[in-house]
Chain A
Amino acid sequence: MTSPTVGPVATGPTTPDAAGRMHAVVARLAAGDFQGRRVGTPGGKGAAAWLVSHLESLGAQAFTDSFPVRNAVKELSAIPVLRWTTASGKQNLVHRQDFAEHLASAYTPGLVTGPIAAPDGAVAGAWVLEPSYNAARAAELADVGAAGIVLPRGTDDAGLMPKMIAGPAACPLPVLSVRTDLFEAMTATVHSGQPSEIEGSVPLRTVDVEGGNVHGIFRTPIEGSLSVLLTAHFDGVGDDPGGVRFPAACDNASGVAVVVETAQRLHGLLPAEVGLAVALLDAEEAGAHGSAHHATYLAAGTLVINMDGAAQLHQAAAVEASGPAHSLLAALDQAGRETGVALRGQAMPSDNRRYAAAGFAAVGIGMGMPGYQTPAETPNRVEAATLLAAADLITATVLHLSRTA
Chain B
Amino acid sequence: MTTTPTAGGFTGELDQAFAPAAAGGCCGSAPSATATAETPAATSPCCGTAAEATEAGSCCGTAAKAEAVEAGKGCCG
> Which of B6, B8, B66 meets A104, CB within 8 Å?
B66
Q: From B54, which residue of chain A is reached at the shortest CB distance?
A: A357
> Which of B4, B8, B33, B59 meets A343, CB within 8 Å?
B8
Q: Is the CB of B17 within 8 A of A363?
A: yes
**If A10-B1, A12-B1, A349-B59 touch, does A321 touch B17 (CB 8 Å cutoff)?**
yes
Q: Is the CB of A334 within 8 A of B66?
A: no
| Interface size bracket, A side | 35 or more
Contacts of A340 in B (CB 8 A): 3, 6-8
Q: Is the CB of A320 within 8 A of B31?
A: no
Contacts of B11 in A (CB 8 A): 316, 342-344
- The complex places the Cα of A292 from the Cα of B22 at a distance, in Å, of 23
Interface string of B30-67 (1 = CB under 8 A from A): 11110000000010000100000000111110110111
Tell whether A77 is near chain B: CB-to-CB under 8 Å: no
Contacts of B20 in A (CB 8 A): 318-320, 344-348
Q: Is the CB of B14 within 8 A of A8?
A: no
> Which of A289, A341, A349 meets B30, CB within 8 Å?
A349
- The complex places the Cα of A404 from the Cα of B23 at a distance, in Å, of 33
Q: Is the CB of A345 within 8 A of B18?
A: yes
Q: Is the CB of A168 within 8 A of B10?
A: no
- The complex places the Cα of A326 from the Cα of B14 at a distance, in Å, of 8
- The complex places the Cα of A107 from the Cα of B60 at a distance, in Å, of 24
Tell whether A280 is near chain B: CB-to-CB under 8 Å: no
B52 CB to nearest A CB, Å: 10
Q: Is the CB of A339 within 8 A of B6?
A: yes
Q: Is the CB of B32 within 8 A of A322?
A: yes
Q: Is the CB of A13 within 8 A of B29?
A: no
> Which of A167, A321, A333, A349 meets B66, CB within 8 Å?
A167
Contacts of B59 in A (CB 8 A): 287-288, 349-351, 353-354
- The complex places the Cα of A216 from the Cα of B44 at a distance, in Å, of 37
Contacts of B5 in A (CB 8 A): 8, 337-338
**If A287-B57, A347-B42 touch, does A342 touch B1 (CB 8 Å cutoff)?**
no
> Which of B9, B31, B74, B76 meets A337, CB within 8 Å?
B9
- The complex places the Cα of A257 from the Cα of B2 at a distance, in Å, of 22
Tell whether A153 is near chain B: CB-to-CB under 8 Å: yes
Give the dominant DSSP class at B's interface: loop
Q: Is the CB of B12 within 8 A of A8?
A: no
Q: Is the CB of A167 within 8 A of B63?
A: yes
B21 CB to nearest A CB, Å: 7
**If A13-B1, A351-B59 touch, does A321 touch B18 (CB 8 Å cutoff)?**
yes
A170 CB to nearest B CB, Å: 12
Contacts of A239 in B (CB 8 A): none
- The complex places the Cα of A352 from the Cα of B6 at a distance, in Å, of 27
Contacts of B72 in A (CB 8 A): 153-156, 161, 180
A219 CB to nearest B CB, Å: 22
**If A14-B1, A177-B70, A320-B30 touch, does A346 touch B21 (CB 8 Å cutoff)?**
yes
Contacts of A186 in B (CB 8 A): none
Contacts of B33 in A (CB 8 A): 323
- The complex places the Cα of A287 from the Cα of B56 at a distance, in Å, of 8
- The complex places the Cα of A405 from the Cα of B4 at a distance, in Å, of 22
Q: From B67, which residue of chain A is reached at the shortest CB distance?
A: A133
Contacts of A308 in B (CB 8 A): 76-77
- The complex places the Cα of A215 from the Cα of B23 at a distance, in Å, of 32
Tell whether A330 is near chain B: CB-to-CB under 8 Å: yes
Binding site for A on B (CB under 8 A): 1-23, 26-33, 42, 47, 56-60, 62-63, 65-67, 69-77
6 contacts between A and B (CB under 8 A): A102-B70, A103-B66, A156-B72, A168-B63, A349-B27, A356-B31
Given A292-B57, A347-B26, 18 new contacts (CB under 8 A): A8-B5, A13-B1, A164-B66, A166-B62, A166-B65, A166-B66, A168-B63, A284-B77, A287-B56, A320-B29, A329-B14, A340-B6, A340-B8, A343-B10, A344-B10, A347-B76, A349-B60, A350-B59
